Amino acid sequence: MSAPDILAIGRGSIVAPAGCGKTESIVRAVARNDGKPALVLTHTNAGVCALRSRMGRAKVATTKARVTTLDGWCLQLVSSYPELSGLRPDLSAIQYPALREAAIRAVSSGALDAILRASYSRVIVDEYQDCTSPQHRLVVALADRLPCCVLGDPLQRIFDWAGPLPDWDAEVLTTFPLVATLDDPWRWIAEGEEDFGRWILSIRGGLERGQGVDLTTAPVNLVWKKAVDEEQQKSAEAEAMAELAGLAPSTALIVGSSLDAASRVEFAKTYDGVQVVERADMPELAAAADKIGSEKELKRVIEVLRFARTVMSGIDKAFVDRLNDLASGREAPAEDSERIFLMARHGATFGNLARMLECWHKTPGWFVYRPDLLNVMMDGMRRTAEDGDLKASVLEVREAKRSKGRHIPALGIGSTLLLKGLEAERVIILDAGSMNACNAYVALSRASRSVTVISKNPVIGLV
């Protein structure tokens, strides 16, 4: 069906399967919104950046919408009205559960009704399946005061670790009556692969009923590779990567284990060209910066070397042995990567260490498979004085980059959680047999042209 007019919805919901034009529907609604701006809420900074980017490409005036995260809007509201909300948030250690409850108190009090109505024409909430129960209560409070349309897909509900979620049928749809379910697979139509897109839509019913999806019913766009043990798994992965290289796609995503981040990093180390799609908080980064910043002279250089080995190829045992020979004076440097090491060893300032990492980054034949970690570390080093706090600088850079949205590599590996909302021409799913219905649907629907699935059995999504 054609997308409904969001501006005509006083209070309701739209179920929006992957690739069926949800973001475009929001952009078109905002473009036609006159007068006061619409309040457009989503869950992540990456989602905010994606919406703003699409609005920018469509030349939508920024005055037509206030686009922010739910938690970001809560923080601004509570900070502006601490007495009314009953909370003065500590910006250095934000307690999000308390923040959400405080925002609910402020909106539900009724004291802000006139301000809200004077500020916004309506509320539009994206990715509603990811709302926690407190966030749902907040949106309900807003909907009691302003026209409100929520858009989401219960089959993409994979953020259930964030806290209790409202029951979709008993709580979401009773509060926001279903207006429409989008069913035109625009992502695949744009690629000339409408049949593939229709099949992706057709598997939703079986997944929702707990029957899984039978990969043998798929069109030629899907290739299933059987792997019943580790040897067959490795062989199937190598075959899939070789086939991917032959297709030479402009974009490709590899869906790895959701539980084993180390296995995703190891895959990127194994196959040249693959880069890791990182978590927004980059948990390894703070620990590495803390270790580097706490050391001096040679010990600091050694910590940087250890960090570099976790983000790029080329720093193998032979190279480390070579550096030891250079440090002892037994050998003379022959390459730039060696000369820069000696410079840093004799002057282990953060600036010199950043230059060393940058030189190694550019060394022919070496490959950076975790560019986000490397770039944030180098930027943090460049802005840190010798007596400064490297960890604080690195975290500051991380947060600045986080607010601008994620870097998505042309050939990236991540979990379904990290890849949700992205799309690529080609997709490889490494461990499909371990996926539940929602994760299987999210993984399969990332591909606009073809997908390779590795699993023990051809029926997946039953976990």
Tens of pLDDT, residue by residue over 96-145, are: 999 999 999 999 999 999 999 999 999 999 999 999 999 999 999 999 99
H helices of 58-95, where?
70-80, 82-85
> What mean pLDDT do residues 224-248 have?
96
pLDDT value of residue 1: 58
Among 153, 146, 129, 130, residue whose Cα is nearest residue 21? 153
Token pair in block for residue 36: 């006061």
Structural contact between residues 40 and 29, judged by C-beta atoms closer than 8 angstroms: no
Distance CA 440, CA 85 (A): 40
> What mean pLDDT do residues 405-413 have?
87
Can you tell me whether residue 14 is helix, strand or coil?
A: strand
Distance CA 131, CA 102 (A): 17
> What mean pLDDT do residues 325-336 have?
79
> What mean pLDDT do residues 440-458 have?
97
Query: At residue 416, does pLDDT exceed 80?
Result: yes
> What mean pLDDT do residues 333-358 have?
88
Among 364, 360, 397, 375, residue whose Cα is nearest residue 276? 375
pLDDT value of residue 319: 87
pLDDT value of residue 228: 96
User: How does the average pLDDT of the chain come out, rounded?
Assistant: 93
> What mean pLDDT do residues 4-33 have?
96
User: What band does 372 get if pLDDT is binned at 50, 70 and 90?
Assistant: very high
Query: At residue 169, does pLDDT exceed 90?
Result: yes
- The share of the chain scoring above pLDDT 70, in percent, equals 98
Query: At residue 334, does pLDDT exceed 80?
Result: no
In the chain, the domains with their CATH numbers are 6-184 (3.40.50.300), 188-277+410-460 (3.40.50.300), 283-404 (no CATH)
Distance CA 345, CA 326 (A): 10
Can you tell me whether residue 11 is helix, strand or coil?
A: strand
Query: At residue 168, does pLDDT exceed 90?
Result: yes
> What mean pLDDT do residues 357-381 have?
94
Query: At residue 458, does pLDDT exceed 70?
Result: yes
User: What band does 298 get if pLDDT is binned at 50, 70 and 90?
Assistant: confident
Bridge-based pairing of strands 178-181 and 11-15 is: parallel
Q: Which helix (H) or strand (E) holds 165?
A: none
pLDDT value of residue 437: 96
Tens of pLDDT, residue by residue over 251-273, are: 999 999 999 999 999 999 999 99
Tens of pLDDT, residue by residue over 171-196, are: 999 999 999 999 999 999 999 999 99
pLDDT value of residue 333: 75
